Amino acid sequence: MKLSAKTVGYIERISNLSSKLGLDVFVMDKNGIKAKSQELYIFLVLDEEMPWLEVDSICVNKVHEFNQRLNFVSQLCEDDGMPLSVQVPEYKELDSGDKIAKKLRFDGPKTGVEVGCANGALYKLPSGVSDENLVDFVMDDDTSQVISGLGRVVRNKNNTVNIRAVKGSIFLEVIDNEGDSALHLITKSPNWVGEEEDFRFTYIHKKITPLITKGQLTKFTITERGCLLSDINGMVAIIFPESQTR
């Protein structure tokens, strides 16, 4: 079964994004796309119906290896001036009639690579967050460099950063194991969707930096429970806080 160019485009998009964000599993089905990290602190969601999908579910549970193989064959195709072809050489048909991909095959000009797929029903994946938004703000790539720089010069064992609201302004904060700290102003004028308040939410810093696009302003939203949301290439990335202080 050959997948359409539209389906292949979505596979390339979710595979590359999931690999960039360090996610381990993604599932495509006719209700959209969902991906997660094994540690459950970051999710990626595309809430978009896909009635045209040729199979009812494609689940990949070794994203990094899958993405390497996909990009390898994709580059061979690009070098030869041909489109990437993706087949479903093997699938399982359930009693319901749903077809679950068991393998995908990437076909290049002279090279084919088969990869195994998993059963998406085995993975608990998110549908989004249910709590209300609290505040919106933007970060630029300078902030990304500051996050990386502070993570090197003010270290803590958990490799975390805090996003703080103090008197209406939003700050980035790093505290080391000895209690020394560094504070960076992100903005004095965020958009408060909920009631303005002081807070401190803690996140793994290496999960924030891939969300910031070089040369662009990246919008972030923090929810009432401290989930950090960002739209990345049309999908919503959700980072859960390690801890919080309100």
Could you read off the pLDDT of 49-78 as tens digits, one per residue? 899 999 999 999 999 999 999 999 999 999
Q: Count the neighbouring beta carbons within 10 Å of the beta carbon of residue 125.
A: 17
| Predicted confidence (pLDDT) at residue 40 exceeds the cutoff of 70 | no
Q: What is the pTM of this model?
A: 0.83
Residue 123 — pLDDT band, cuts 50, 70, 90?
A: confident
Task: Assign a CATH topology to domain 5-122.
Answer: DNA Polymerase III; Chain A, domain 2 (3.10.150)
Tally of CA atoms within 13 A in the half-sphere of 2 that contains its CB: 6
- Reference 201, options 176, 178, 181, 172; nearest CA is 172
Q: Which amino acid is at 85?
A: S
pLDDT of residue 157 exceeding 80? no
Cβ–Cβ under 8 Å, residues 165 and 199: yes
pLDDT, position 231: 87
Q: What is the rounded average pLDDT of the residues 162-177?
A: 90
pLDDT over 90 (residue 125): no
Whole-number Å distance between alpha carbons of 237 and 189: 23
* pLDDT interval class at 151 (50, 70, 90): low
Max CA-CA distance within the chain? Answer: 62
User: Distances in Å between the alpha carbon of 163 and those of 142, 160, 223?
Assistant: 16, 10, 12
5-122 shares its CATH topology with 133-245: yes
Topology at the third CATH level for domain 133-245: DNA Polymerase III; Chain A, domain 2 (3.10.150)
* Residue-averaged pLDDT of the chain: 89
Give residue limits of the domains in the chain. Answer: 5-122, 133-245
For 163-200, b where at least 16 C-beta lie within 10 A, e where not — what string? bbbeeeebbbbbbeeeeeebeeebbeebeeeeeeeebb
